[in-house]
Chains A and B, each alone.
Chain A
Amino acid sequence: METLHTVTEQHAHATAHGHDGGHHHTETFISKYIFSLDHKTIGKQFLITGMVWAVIGGLFSVLFRIQLGWPDETFPFLERMFGAWYTDGKLNPEAYYSLITMHGTIMVFFVLTASLSGTFANVLIPLQLGARDMASPLMNALSYWFFVISGIIMFSSLFLPTGAASAGWTIYPPLSALPQTSPGSGDGMTLWLISMVLFVVSTLLGGLNYVSTILNMRTKGMSLFKMPLTVWALFFTAIIGILSFPVLVSGVVLLIFDRTLGTSFYLSHIVIGGVPQPYAGGSPILFQHLFWFLGHPEVYIVILPAMGMVSEILAVHARKPIFGYKAMIFSILGITILGFIVWAHHMFMAGINPFLGSVFTFFTLLIAIPSAVKVFNWITTIWKGNLHITAPFLFAVGFVSMFISGGLTGIWLGNSTIDIQLHDTYFVVAHFHIVMGIAAFFGMFAGIYHWFPRMFGRMMNTNLAYIHFAITFIGSYLIFWPMHFQGLAGVPRRYYTNNNFEIFAVFNGMNKVISIAAIIVFLAQLLFLVNFFWSIFKGKKSSQNPWNANTLEWTSPVEGIHGNWHGDIPEVHRWAYDYSRPGNESDFIPQNFPLTEKEKTEADH
């Protein structure tokens, strides 16, 4: 039965694809590059759109870091550039709150969710699994265009006279629910909510497609446990998205009703300017539950794709099999499951039952176990490896470093008692920026440097990449390491200025250092962008398999054709990590190489 299956299957392939390989579609510029249904093009669209967003989000952080570093100075040139956000050369407090809100929203959702998953799931899932395209190319394209529309709406909110949303990226009511509470809670907040609903549609369309493709479209021989770890990570990422984003929709819909129709889902006992408001019976904590039921899994949506790519990249560039392949998979699974039952650790100080707090502390600390398994496996993978110190390798190692540094402080913050001192301080800012912000960016950079040849058929400039790495790595620690000390001393996050607290005057110099480092790191990213766009057109031509990697995407033609392979799709005979196999003449054996006689006999025993 099984054999018959495969024979018919191959036959179906041959007939269906023999035709396809040599066929050239007459495509216009618009159908090829703009409204494309090809997963590789959609991946590139996600990537470049994400870069635009990352520059905007990064620029915002520079603006508010300038305010925090030099709260007493005036900057007339910034006022000339940004107009209404500044008064007398100083950033307005309202604009400051809009900037931190938009920085968080843009970075978490648009860059590290949509662009990171969108780029690599699109480029890698079909290519690494041996599929012609996604299960539904149309849904895939729709996912991108919903992302674009949602982005346009978010971007347009920046130009409102009342400013963009300013209640923080977590948009807690009542601040976000009542326009009277702050200028940004007016039209800016409305656009934020509309944009996010469309964003969720985009994420779901993409996620459904990724899961369906992974489970249904694998080439012959690609059993689940032969899949590269990138695909495993993207698989669980998509599942988390499918389960958690709909709950955000419920929360946001109720918030929209509170804002527009005067309902009281989240509002109770509110007095604004001495006037009691008519709302009763609502609960702001309810919103926090609904928000963090998405919000916490969201951080794994951000970090898992980076983890998967780092696993793959470390093995390729250390020329060693990944250590603990199955342990890696089950630790991702463990993180996925635990990630859904820890959301209230964001709410320890929000007035939840302290007993509930200790339950959530317990589950939160459990996540340290699968995370530590992964870190151990990464380190063991490069241990005594034949290290090729390339740009993707450096960024992957940078990822591991950031993940360890940020993960350790997570153990502090996961304790509900320590959180009494540390919540809402710069300690939290330092923790989550290192562990999910910078780490995910490092994973993304590693992925871009590694798969750039597959995406664009050319190599990126290595020396620029080394400079980019050195500045980003050192700079990131310079920005966030000092924040731990500020947080331990109690410096609150989100404040426009700390001038009114004399005890925090000791941090004035430190704030300047952080801000200078932030500006330098931001400029270093422009260097990366120059390298990226220059290399698309002028980079050195890539060979078929520039890193000597095993996975299937390196067997597909460099120029990237519609349908991915001329003729038949390669079959898979082995896992993705046969590097430096003793007795083999080359130090890698691609997945589509049949087992040797010796291996077959070994497998039999």
Chain B
Amino acid sequence: MSLSVTYNKTKFGNQGAQRFTMWMAIVSIMMTFGGFTSAFIVRKGAGGAWSSFTMPSIFNVSTLMILLSSMSLIVAHISNKKGNKIMTAVGLFTTTFLGILFCAFQVTGWSQLTNQGIYLSYNPNPAGPFFYVITAFHALHVICGLLFMIVATTRSLFKLRQPTSTEIITELENTEKGRFAIRTDLLSMYWHFMGLLWLYLFIFLSLNLNH
């Protein structure tokens, strides 16, 4: 009972509002990619020049990486709640590492694609460029998340344990621990969303690349 109170009504700013803000931010990112993918569909459906190509095979691996990174983040989250500082740090580190691998495999995938002769620049056909822009815009969002993930990993090594949920009730916002808990909480939401967003883009592009 008192949980919701202190949660929602601290002095300036509060966690309920911050989580909510992250949800709204996620909605707005969804709208951006909704814009891209509907532009893709509309343009393809309108007919006209459209080169066919297949998804770079390495993207299967990168998909696996980002899904695994979500799982290691869940491990970190649970360990953190239990107060297991080593597993928290390991979980966050693994997530960061897998995130970096994801980006590296994306770059590899783009070079596979250029080897197929599908270019981004000076390509007089929108199919390839659409693929590059959509995947790169997603990668850019992942990189932003990674920056925060690196900060969280570093902090988890020094700050060790974050507060349990009971501590959050009483001390939230007033303590360094509390602020850290909120930040990692928001970061988790963002990171899982990046995974889901990629899954959507991966399936969407796999289904729609060819005629």
Contact = CB atoms under 8 A, between A and B. Distances in A.
Interface stretch (B14-22, B100-108, B155-163): B14-22
A81 interface: no
Interface stretch (B36-44, B63-71, B143-151, B187-195): B36-44
A132 interface: yes
B115 interface: no
Interface string A42-68: 000000000000000000000000000
Interface residues of A, number: 55
Main secondary structure of the interface of B (DSSP, over half): helix
Interface residues of B, number: 48
A36 B13 CA distance: 15
B125 A135 contact: no
Given A216-B17, A280-B49, A286-B39, A5 B1 contact: yes
B11 interface: yes
Q: Which 3 A-B pairs have the closest CB atoms?
A: A250-B35, A281-B49, A135-B17
Interface stretch (B25-33, B52-60, B81-89, B197-205): B25-33
A5 B4 contact: yes
Contact of A216 (B16, B35, B43): B16
Contact of A279 (B16, B34, B124): B124
A283 B41 CA distance: 12
A8 B35 contact: no
A289 B126 contact: no
A247 B38 CA distance: 10
Contact of B126 (A9, A17, A211, A264): A264
Contacts of A17: 11
Given A264-B124, A278-B124, 17 more contacts: A4-B1, A132-B12, A136-B18, A139-B21, A212-B24, A216-B14, A242-B31, A249-B32, A250-B32, A250-B35, A254-B133, A263-B129, A263-B133, A265-B126, A278-B122, A281-B49, A281-B126
B35 A261 contact: no
Nearest to A263: B129
Contacts, number: 154
Contact of B133 (A12, A209, A257): A257
Contact of A249 (B9, B12, B35, B120): B35
Given A262-B121, A283-B48, A250 B13 contact: no
Contacts of B42: 283, 286, 289
Interface string A258-291: 0001111100100000000011111100100110
A261 B4 CA distance: 51
Contacts of A268: 48-49
Contacts of A9: 5, 9
